[in-house]
Structure 1
């Protein structure tokens, strides 16, 4: 797999633009929010970020496809940019600072670049295939990310988003049993859970229902940090419709507890 230095730099430029847009309207009293057909909210910032990214990539990478949460897929080919303009829109519109823009580049089914930018908490994470995972304010002032060495559930910290999805999958009892056996559980939620796994602050993160744009950037950052990212049926990568991320050492045991059987 070739190096993707230029693509990673472009992803950071996209993230810089997104940060400017989202922070400009964050906590604005006149922020426009609509309800999508699936009853989830979408803000004017979600739509503007995606629109700006599409225009930038149409100039910089005209042959690449684009997959976005708000406007779907345009273009075709083996290279596709996968974007969630604001992961955590409900937090964004309520003034909770835990939200981020997720940007990734996939070649076929392999994520090769991922950037997660959370400007309200002053954090950014990124990775490119084979070059490790990093966090910092800029490419030139970064620290490496590494998952933890925890190998016992009784010592493990687990993060999740909510319990509702596990109940809908009729797996709530299994999930609650796993929570009971872990040392610590907290609902950090959304992208934050997975970045904490990549940093080694959390050992397990899982969600029962997600889309590709929710996961692609997270997956490469976790795996390049030395962890493992699969669907609940054990398929590596972000294409399975749900997610389990761990430090790798705990993965098989957790998958046996809450994975698809």
Structure 2
């Protein structure tokens, strides 16, 4: 199995630099915020963090391609870094500490694209999670001070905690009935939002989570972490990995039930 330790170390260095940039402008009274064509906000911190990450990747991995939320795709090749400089920009611009920088590495092989490194860094929460293929998933302050992650062992839906981002989108995707039925049959439901519920699935404090519409930069890093913690990460229709445009993540035991509810349309 290929060793991606050097790439994981680089992802941590990139996350350190991004954290310094984003925290410097978090809650700044003069923070500049614009509205993108898709009507979502983007702050100067989003742009600065992605520019910084791209610059460092250009020096450290000049042959690798990069896909970022703010500046699109650059380069070609079998290795591609996926960057979301601030996942949770709406929280960031309102002073809510639930946001993170997501950095991942996807490689192309005989079986298609596969995420092999993922780092999720949430400096305002004082938390970071990471994983590399075949090496497990961890949380902690650094590579040398970390706790290994493990998904929960809950195997009954009536005992499960279900997390989601918001209600918007489920009806548009024709999946609202399944979402409501699932919510009624779970022990607990909470709308934590963005990266956080996936990290809680990896930690074992949440058992299932899902979102009806996402981009690759929202999913690539969380998918590696959930999978390396022993869980499953697919699209709502069961496509493995973060490439299906939406997400279903679980501890594995409940995944088919999760898809049974949310894979329904109409």
Shift of 1:259: 1.0
Compute the RMSD of aligned alpha carbons. 0.7
Matches of 1:149 and 1:246, distance apart in 2: 10
Alignment-derived partner of residue 204 in structure 2: 200
Shift of 1:87: 0.2
Matches of 2:19 and 2:264, distance apart in 1: 37
Equivalent residues, number = 261
What does residue range 23-42 of structure 1 map to in structure 2 within 5 Å?
Answer: 23-42=23-42
Question: 3-state DSSP class of the match of 1:142?
Answer: strand
- The question of whether the paired residues in 1 share the 8 Å contact of 2:175 and 2:263 is answered with no
Q: Which structure shows the higher helix fraction?
A: 1
What does residue range 11-50 of structure 1 map to in structure 2 within 5 Å?
Answer: 11-50=11-50
1:229-257 Cα deviation digits (max 9, x unpaired):
00011011000000000000000011011
Question: 3-state DSSP class of the match of 1:101?
Answer: strand
Q: Which runs of 5+ in 1 are unaligned?
A: none
Shift of 1:260: 4.6
1:75-125 Cα deviation digits (max 9, x unpaired):
000100000000000000000000000000000211010000000000000
With over 3 angstroms needed to count, the CA separation of the structure-2 counterparts of 1:92 and 1:36, relative to structure 1, is same
Alignment-derived partner of residue 188 in structure 2: 184
Matches of 2:136 and 2:181, distance apart in 1: 33
Matches of 2:168 and 2:105, distance apart in 1: 30
- The question of whether the paired residues in 1 share the 8 Å contact of 2:133 and 2:228 is answered with yes
TM-score where L is the length of structure 1: 0.99
Alignment-derived partner of residue 7 in structure 1: 7
